[in-house]
Structure 1
Amino acid sequence: MATPESENTDIIPTPSSIVRAPSEITTVNSGLAKTVIPSKDSLAKVTYYKLDLDTILDGLIPDPLPVSIGKDNAIHHLNIIIFGKPNTGKTTLSESIAQALARRYGQENVKALRSTRDLPALFENMDKLFKRFRKPPKAVLLFADDMTKALKKLSGTVVVKDSNGQLQKMRKIDYWLDKWYDIRGELFKRGMRQGLVIMVAALHRFYGGDIDLRADADLLLVRSTGTPGTFDANKVERMLGPVVYYAMRQHEVDALRDRKELAWTAYVAKTGSGVFRVPRPPVTKKWLMRNVGSSESSEETAVELVEPNKKSELSEASKKSAVEGELTIQPRPHRGRWGRRFIIATAVLVILYLAWEYIWPLLR
């Protein structure tokens, strides 16, 4: 049974000693907030006019390279990411890396493959690096151009064998990325025991890509800083640092008026970071990288954009032109060395027979 409360209670409320003070924190409109612009001295410290790609690679590649003793795998592995929007020179930058390796080890000891939006093609054509040579190359460069779209094309699953020999399904993207990360093992299977392998991935975007690509990068080369405020721009700024990021952004703005400014490249590695110039490889010099895999041309894109009612007409016209081309342009059959000798011998016998049949009776 509840006891009735007394009207005269002993609890007397006392005034609190806690005084509410006005807060000094004021809200700021983020749209009007401006980032701190680095000083000219800070920008000058990260801008290197005399730095070249060979010097940066010197800090990442041991000299001499590790030597295999017996059956161990002594291949030195580097993972390089080239980030930038289209038409900023990512392919020429990877060719510059290949030529830097050629200057270091000799052109005959460096082999490079390039695939565009086709990651499996690199590994399916890797045997071409070893078939024509008695010993494996000293340095191998594999360049995956437009890795962003190459990963999007890897949909579906593949059937693989596990360690127990049982078949199981595996996502295609995981299957080929495992080969990308375990490139030392892939080369070891093909007889390479020592040397250098450099995996170069060109990315248009970081968003939605495999996080291990940028987490395990030994060298990041940036050709464009991305749209301000986006995921990619924020990631690039955090990886480069605000000073290097702003310096690269200034050169990127200058490149809108002068194409020569596209040679400026921001880099970050364990050895340091900054902005330097990478000249375009000479046009007259033959490139070291060999293109493998499917090539997506602009003609294929144009066919996809044709209206449905015109696509059939276009396909019929293309088939007709192809047939006419086969009829009008027929290559001469290839004759080998013994075929030419047989024709010459037959001609000589015919001449001797005619001389014996018609000329010799007149001389007797």
Structure 2
Amino acid sequence: MERVTLPAAGWRDREELQALCRVLGADGGDTRVVGGAVRDTLLGCPVSDIDLATRQAPEDVLAALQRARVKAVPTGLAHGTITAVLSDGPVEVTTLRRDLATDGRHAVVAFTDDWREDAARRDFTINALYADPASGEIFDYFGGIDDLAAGRVRFIGDPLQRIAEDHLRILRFFRFHARFGSLPDAAALAACTARANDLMALSRERIAAELLKLLVAQGAVATLELMIAHDILLPVLPEISIAGVAKLAEVAGYEAAADLKPDPLRRLAALLPRDTALGEAIANRLKLSNAQRKRIVSALGAPGGTPPELTYRLGRDGALDRWLLTTSGTPAVDGARAIAAFAIPAFPLTGGALVQRGVGKGPDVARMLREVENAWIAEGFPDAERTAQLADEAVDQWRRSSSIV
């Protein structure tokens, strides 16, 4: 088999990473780079996370890092994972392992020194690629390089068995297909379709994390169409329909035309029916954070307002969400660009300024402040001098109304 090596990449030149690999015996073949860093480097994609696999036992890894004075955090010691904290970013180091027992969510593992055995427990062939840190030589036990070249996401071994070991692999298959795939692997698709109900056993947090990652992948729209066609999401998110995918496609097109980074929460909102109560219920079901839940509900709100007004009232992300979900065509793109460029002003009036004008402290101040702010927004955020005039006009009106009463 032809020897394949990693191309040059910036992360390979990190001095601390090279030193860490030497500490862990990479020169003797004990430690290799594994997974996403190898895969993405082969594709010429940016690499953010570095993972190392090692034949050394977890306690030996800890001891080696302590001797080298490298901060070590036992982030998953039961599963053999230790995080080495380097100045230019953390690196996860995991001892080679094999599964002893699985229940669809968790695995009991035993450590091994067999590289192929470690590769066999990984999900997809394209994620089971290892590389020598120094030479860049790649070790591919299950045809991952060919699958990567073909745009094929393929399970290692029997897809049904791999899904039984971890039900999240159903969503991971579609997420990786959205990012790397062309035509879906027939055996993988059939297995995911047959076992879609297994998703009901997963925590909603895990489902949400995978879905949000999928939504920003290049092939998100086509992949979601595939998922809808095969009823993959029906057990956990029955509200998502082909109409929602069409809206997602529209919003994704506007993001691209306006040079906006794909946003997972905006895209999730686009997928959902335009119903704030239902959106909140789905956000709660997915265990999204309070901030994420509020943003979903806001995105599904009623149309209205100019781009500057929406930006002031909802913030930049909130304004983009609402605008892109409620506006179509060229105005959607132009408005999105305006929102992205708008410098959000500070309202140049305080309640104290109204009190100084003779308004008694209490609810009248808060009400009048809102009225002046609304007038200020309607006039296009004028300067402090004009804002003071608006305040004077509001106070005069308040006095006239009070004298009539």
Q: Point out which structure has higher relative CO (alpha carbons under 8 A, 6+ apart).
A: 1
TM-score (normalised: structure 1): 0.23
More helix by share: 2
More strand by share: 1
TM-score (normalised: structure 2): 0.21
Who wins on radius of gyration, i.e. which is larger?
A: 1
